[in-house]
Amino acid sequence: MELRVWAPDTIGEITHGTDLGELIVTHLPDLADGDIVCVTSKIVSKAEGQILTATDREDAITSETVRLVAKRTRPDGPPLRIVENHLGLVMAAAGVDASNTADGTILLLPRDPDASAVRMRAAVRKRCGVNVGVVISDTAGRPWRAGLTEIAIGCAGLTPLEDFRGASDTAGRELSVSVTAVADELVNAAELAKGKLGGRPLAVVRGRGDLVLPIGDDGAGARSLVRLGESDLFSMGTAEAIEYGRSLASPR
């Protein structure tokens, strides 16, 4: 097994209306069948006009919030809110971001990143005649772990979850719970090439063509990676859970 990951330089600034399909084929001219194109969500947001003035940040977080998970006060700014946003993602500040954008502006996440990935995949197919997978990523924190990683928030033409249940391990035992979030793994491999400060929002992962779906099949999308309802065992912060439990307790 061998993977190759690369990210082109000199992409330039993305503005509202930028043709991302054209951007991909211009800066990645050597794409081949089975390649996986990884795209930073910020350039999708910019191209789709998901830009607001920075003074609207707290209101934007509120408007993007479906459910408050946890809220903590901070001495040096507005409260930190961990929320579920309209994409079903649980993120700090609903994914509203003020980095890598013009002064005085903030970025919202794409409204439908799976659909955005579908459009980019179709554009690459039309312009280059190759069958690729497309994954859109954003940066997120994780419970109980320091540091940020990438997560797939949109994908097309790709199997986002690799299901090993029913297969046998090296000792012959049948696997019963092993489902790997390969879309997340791919965007983190891509991030090592893109870098956080390098101005490289596109990357290609080559070597996992087995995950790329046939032409005409865009797959389940990154939405299938989201845990909601009964499968979400950590649906609220600790303080919020304690307060909720108290509210259910019978009065003495």
What pLDDT is recorded for position 249? 81
What pLDDT is recorded for position 251? 64
Q: Tens-of-pLDDT digits for all 252 residues of the chain?
A: 899 999 999 898 999 999 999 999 999 999 999 999 999 999 999 999 999 888 888 999 999 999 999 999 989 888 999 999 999 999 999 999 888 788 888 999 999 999 999 999 999 999 999 999 999 999 999 888 999 999 999 999 999 999 888 888 888 888 787 889 999 999 999 999 999 888 899 999 999 999 999 999 999 999 999 987 778 888 888 888 888 888 888 665
The letter for the amino acid at 215 is I
Residues 6+ apart with CB under 8 A from 94: 60, 61, 64, 65, 81, 83, 85, 109
What pLDDT is recorded for position 196? 85
Helix axes 20-27, 113-128, angle to 10 degrees: 50
